[in-house]
Structure 1
Amino acid sequence: MAAFAETSGMFNNNISLSIPVTPHYIPPRAPVVLCHGLYGFDKRGPESFPFLQVQYWGGIEDALAKLGAKVIVTRVPSTGSIWQRAHTLHSILTSISDGSKVNFIAHSMGGLDCRYLISHIPNKQYSVQSLTTISTPHRGSPVMDWFRDHVGVGMALVNMTAAASDNHQRVDCNTLQKHGLTQQQSSFLSKSLSDIAKLPKPILDPLLQKAIRVLDTAAYANLTTDYCKNHFNPNTPNDPDVAYYSYGAVASFSPWSMLNIPSQWISEKEGSNDGLVSVQSAKWGKYVKTVEADHWDLSGQRYRWKYTRPFVNKSKFDTLDFYMEIATYLYHQGH
């Protein structure tokens, strides 16, 4: 009988060990505002056929809502400047605000938009409790530096400032403001960016050059390491009344991956990265942790971009669980 009891106990222990443990997730107290990155959107497709629509956040919005969180999905100019995107975000929140508290959760460039809004836009009819940035290039990205130096994308602000400097003129105050700058910075800005503009550029077909100039927008310049480190960060201090949290990501890529070469560019300059943003650049405020995922895994776009890592090194990252974890973390931090 004793032997049976001992065997039975071992059997029960084995059963208990085989039962998966389901994490206990909790929604934050204040509404969550989801803020997208470069090329982002809320949803695309016909309203009359929801099943044909593509959502930037995938199932993240629905998962948070099912958890019990109030979720606000925003849409700002996809390639606009930080200034444009931040003011659009502010307008959206103002139009629906009831004076409540909010938690920003921002992917990539969206984190810079939120930082600008928090630091520079006064008299808000809502109260920002926290900003959680997910692989945001707080110190810019060497990928954008490469495209600026070798392709010419990201030269809109550079060329404008260099021309003003060559003509001994000051850049218009409103123009500077829309790039997240002040007139006091214009002298230093003119010198540093005009130096970049005078660097040798690749020889491109004139038609291609013209096309690049037409397609170039302030967003590309706003994501360079020079802009973020020397202009944006020094003039966008943290608000002591707002909690800042950040997450970074690392991933390995096959030779066939779209992110393989960009990842190598970043590795040479800043180390571990997710294919577009380094862990070093992603750190801001309280750094929570580094996850194993590529840049697109983090936004719910992993299915849209499933061929970024074809054949090998497929991501096992669970995007929905990650956002549930963030929501629970915010709750435990008192938000």
Structure 2
Amino acid sequence: MLLNATTNHPILLVHGLFGFERIGPFELFHDVKQALKAVGAQVFVPHLSAIHDNEIRGEQLLSQIHSVLRGTGATKVNLIGHSQGALAARYAAALAPHNVASVTSVSGPNHGSELADFLRKALIPGRLPEVVAQNVATRFADFLSQLSGHATLPHNALAALAALTTEGVGNFNDKYPQGLPTAWGGHGAEWVNGVRYYSWSGVVPELEEPSLGPVQEICSALSEYFVTELAQNDGFVGRFSSHLGTVIRSDYPLDHLQTLRRATGQHAMVNDSISLYVEHALRLQAANL
């Protein structure tokens, strides 16, 4: 018997920093999208600016939510945001709760990123490093946008970085606190203004082989820049910093990018992050979402 995980409302997969919907034959959410469609879910991937602050990207998401609602006849959507996509999803839900059934944060920096703090401090305002970083990041984002067919979307590298720091997200949270825990490392409110909040994330797994690939090695190396959540982060976001709403689990043995794509090799069965999205569709279905 085929698994049926059809949800009451369409699912929107919201990408994070440097994300995109499609570049040529490559789709960022390909594995997730295909797995959800296979179990009956209606899935869309909105395209937001590859690098910009949380509110600009949130406004872009709101516009695309309205397009999905018009096109499908649905009244609400389920938002699943990866990384910075979780902040855009939170923004949309805060401003238009009547159009959002649920927000799910996957590896979202809901209390900021210590890595962003480190990188921002490394860029000296008004000096060459900041200018170089701005130009390189913006040019890369422009390149991605050209390839993806969304070249008209604005980009601002420094605004994106500042928006992901502990201070930047703290300011964001002051305005949009829905679903945030009241105690560090705890759960947040399950329901706020009719919107259901969930989250899950991982921590960098121990490297048991000489090399699991360049991406895993990069995440492992970046994890060393954390202080508050040393050994409790996925290379980009701290475990407890990711908490929002009902915390399904925040220590899956998955780095930041492994929560987005299917594992390969001997770790494929142990760390199948794609199955987490299917399980979540069933969770949304059971909650009549």
Normalising by structure 1, we get a TM-score of 0.66
Compute the displacement of 1:261 (Å): 2.6
Letter aligned with residue 15 of structure 2: H
Query: Could you tell me whether the CA contact under 8 Å between 1:25 and 1:325 is conserved in 2?
Result: no
Hey, which of these two has a bigger chunk of helix by percent? Answer: 1
1:30 partnered with 2:5: no
Compute the displacement of 1:279 (Å): 1.3
Name 1:116's counterpart in structure 2: 91
Measured in 1, the distance between the counterparts of 2:202 and 2:110 equals 14
Measured in 2, the distance between the counterparts of 1:313 and 1:320 equals 13
Measured in 1, the distance between the counterparts of 2:2 and 2:258 equals 21
Name 1:294's counterpart in structure 2: 255
- Residue 218 of structure 2: SS of its match in structure 1? coil
Bigger radius of gyration among the two: 1
Equivalent positions of 1:94-113 (< 5 A) are 94-97=66-69, 98-113=73-88
Q: Deviations over 1:161-214 (max 9, x none)?
A: xxxxxxxxxxxxxxxxxxxxxxxxxxxxxxxxxxxxxxxxxxx7x4x4432243
Q: Deviations over 1:39-73 (max 9, x none)?
A: 1111101xxxxxxx111012211211121111111
Compute the displacement of 1:34 (Å): 0.6
Change (3 A) 1:68 1:141: same
Query: Could you tell me whether the CA contact under 8 Å between 1:145 and 1:225 is conserved in 2?
Result: yes
1:226 partnered with 2:162: no
Query: Could you tell me whether the CA contact under 8 Å between 1:102 and 1:129 is conserved in 2?
Result: yes
Q: Percent same amino acid at aligned positions?
A: 27
Q: RMSD of the alignment, in Å?
A: 2.7
1:284 partnered with 2:244: yes
1:235 partnered with 2:175: yes
Letter aligned with residue 20 of structure 2: F
Equivalent positions of 1:2-41 (< 5 A) are 26-41=5-20
1:321 partnered with 2:275: yes
Letter aligned with residue 5 of structure 2: I
Letter aligned with residue 257 of structure 2: W
Letter aligned with residue 90 of structure 1: L
Measured in 2, the distance between the counterparts of 1:65 and 1:259 equals 29
Letter aligned with residue 197 of structure 2: Y
| Ranges of 4+ aligned residues in structure 1 off by more than 4 Å | 22-25, 312-315
- Residue 217 of structure 1: SS of its match in structure 2? helix
- 2:202 pairs, out of 243, 249, 252, with 249
Measured in 1, the distance between the counterparts of 2:2 and 2:201 equals 22
Say how many residue pairs are matched. 244
Runs of 5+ consecutive residues of structure 1 not aligned to the other structure: 1-21, 46-52, 160-203, 307-311
Letter aligned with residue 111 of structure 1: A
